[in-house]
Amino acid sequence: MTLLEINNLTVRYPTRFGEFTAIEAIDLNISEGEIHGLVGESGAGKSTIGAVVMGLLESPGYIASGNVNMLGTDLTTLNPTDYHKLRGNQLGMIFQDPQTSLNPLFTIADQLITTIQQHNEVSENSAREQAIALLDEVGIDDAEGRIDDFPHQFSGGMRQRVVIALVLCTNPKLIVADEPTTALDVSIQKRILVLLKDLARQRGVGILLITHDIGVIAEICDRVTVLRQGKVVEVGPTTNVIAQPTHEYTIGLMAAIPLIGKRLERFQNIIAEEAPSDDNTQWHVSGASAEYAEHWLHENYTLLQNQQQAVASANSDQAILVVNDLEVRYPPENPGWFRKNLGYQALSDIDFELNRGEVLGVVGESGSGKSTLAKAIVGLVDYTRGSISSNGIVLEPGSQRSRKHEARRRLQMIFQDPYSSLNNRRTVEQILAEPLKFYSLVDSRADRRKLLASVLQLVEMPQQALRKYPHQFSGGQRQRIAIARSLLCLPDLLICDEPTSALDVSIQAHVLNLLKDLQDEFNMAILFISHNLAVVRQMADRVVVLKDGEVVEQGDSDVFFTAPSAEYSKLLLRETPSLSILN
């Protein structure tokens, strides 16, 4: 039986640039016990639909047309008081981040009992019993003992279970789950998804699952709606939409998804990103071209390599990066007065090598020490034992490393968050010119500008970008500017710390392609850090697996992905959504 039916729904926001249409003429329906996936990249309007269903659309957004029918009532016609009565009773919502969805000042018991008593007239004792039974159902061990704990005493995955118990305790018929597993590690994500699936089956609850992650959709959704820029692109049973997409956008989207089981040389059918609304001036730098940038880079790479060989000929055949017995220990936040506090050990006994032209993948869940490793290498964090060297030259711990250290130029880093990796108060030209000036690579202003315009074209950006500020670009474009900046340092080793995890899949594919091309062209070594195994599969020649600051396994990428040896690696591979239907 149809539970929810959305017809021709349009939501608009008045903004200072005029009316902005968040979603346009959306149709969608969900039956009892169905898990309906709502998937799309950022700006697709997924969350807006969830908010409309819950009646929690934030002003100044408004429903311009259409209706939302639930069990015969048009929700859009309800007054706020009646709508509020539906929430909890008929409608429930799971938020993205379990760390922030529970009130830190109240016990779990308190929050559960208040909610139960809000909707049913039961005594406190029986509400408490119900609450314990629910916690048990969602998989909290020792529910009776833990019910009086405060939220901060639960881990992230457990908190999300508590959140689900809170949603269930009033028996809603429809649950809106907005990115319910995005903030969780893969191994926990899988268990939460299984829990949601069981609930839908056993209780007959309809679930509207909003996510950007096709893997999540493939895992548990019965049907899926694909959105793009506020419009429905494709609807249908999950297997059909994912395995045999018909719309051009969906085809591109599916092709852009990295698969853990298959290594692609390049992603095909890249969805072109909308060009930024350009100022229509025909501003350009004469003589600038991608070829010029390529030429300059090659020439200078050779020049610098010859210099290096002349200085230290014995070292030239050494590995680009050798990490030996590395330990990083963070100093304690509150040094104890009474007992000796050694601080937190983020990494220990790390050994690996990285050779010219090689891509080494570093994988691990949050807290495994991946980012600490990157920071220790580039000198942002001090290591406390062991050694790091590059081309046979020692790289001291960050605070002892000279600012003029020769290796600083050769080690460059691409960061995770393209919104914070570029200084918003400087123009792209100023940002890109920094390495050229700092390392005295190009001295004349005109030459610099020509090179910068060229290098932008090399990373497939318009040269007009030089005159703009970073905030005028999308995440993917910024990431390409960041890559251009690193490239201008003429690095031997590029350290990429989750370079695509803040990006949409289609843009991720674009950036990964670019990285692959540049790596081929200039024979750089790359240390590629990611929590996403499927992405690492596409990039890495060899893989290092980290868990709790230690190396669990390292070896050839193909071997790791097909026949991992460590138990933990097997677990990681098993829990990652395989998307086997895409093969």
Q: Which is nearer to other proteins, 295 or 471 (CB)?
A: 471
CB of 55 to other proteins, least distance (A): 9
CB of 557 to other proteins, least distance (A): 27
Evaluate the CA torsion angle 87, 92, 95, 101 in order and state its sign.
positive
Contacts of 228 (CB under 8 A, 6+ apart): 40, 41, 44, 249
Q: Which is nearer to other proteins, 391 or 416 (CB)?
A: 416
Calculated CA dihedral for residues 216, 218, 222, 227, nearest 10 degrees: 70
- The reply to whether omega before 60 is within 30° of 0 (cis) is yes
Q: Which is nearer to other proteins, 160 or 189 (CB)?
A: 160
Report how far residue 413's alpha carbon sits from residue 382's, in angstroms, rounded to the nearest whole number.
17
Report how far residue 570's alpha carbon sits from residue 533's, in angstroms, rounded to the nearest whole number.
12
Report how far residue 115's alpha carbon sits from residue 127's, in angstroms, rounded to the nearest whole number.
9
Q: Which is nearer to other proteins, 54 or 242 (CB)?
A: 54
Report how far residue 396's alpha carbon sits from residue 407's, in angstroms, rounded to the nearest whole number.
11
CB 250 within 8 A of CB 506: no
CB of 378 to other proteins, least distance (A): 5
Q: Which is nearer to other proteins, 105 or 275 (CB)?
A: 105
CB of 239 to other proteins, least distance (A): 31
Contacts of 85 (CB under 8 A, 6+ apart): none
CB of 412 to other proteins, least distance (A): 7
Q: Please report, for residues 97, 290, 458, the alpha-carbon distance to residue 475 in angstroms, rounded to integers and kept in the order given.
A: 22, 22, 18
Q: Which is nearer to other proteins, 166 or 232 (CB)?
A: 166
Report how far residue 394's alpha carbon sits from residue 391's, in angstroms, rounded to the nearest whole number.
8
Q: Which is nearer to other proteins, 118 or 289 (CB)?
A: 118
CB of 189 to other proteins, least distance (A): 19
Q: Which is nearer to other proteins, 5 or 417 (CB)?
A: 417
Report how far residue 286's alpha carbon sits from residue 94's, in angstroms, rounded to the nearest whole number.
55
CB of 223 to other proteins, least distance (A): 24
CB 189 within 8 A of CB 531: no
Q: Which is nearer to other proteins, 227 or 260 (CB)?
A: 227
CB of 448 to other proteins, least distance (A): 16
- Farthest CA pair distance, the chain: 85
Length, in residues, of the chain: 583
Task: Collapse the DSSP code of 78 into the 3-class scheme (helix H, G, I; strand E, B; otherwise coil) and give the result.
Answer: coil
CB of 323 to other proteins, least distance (A): 17
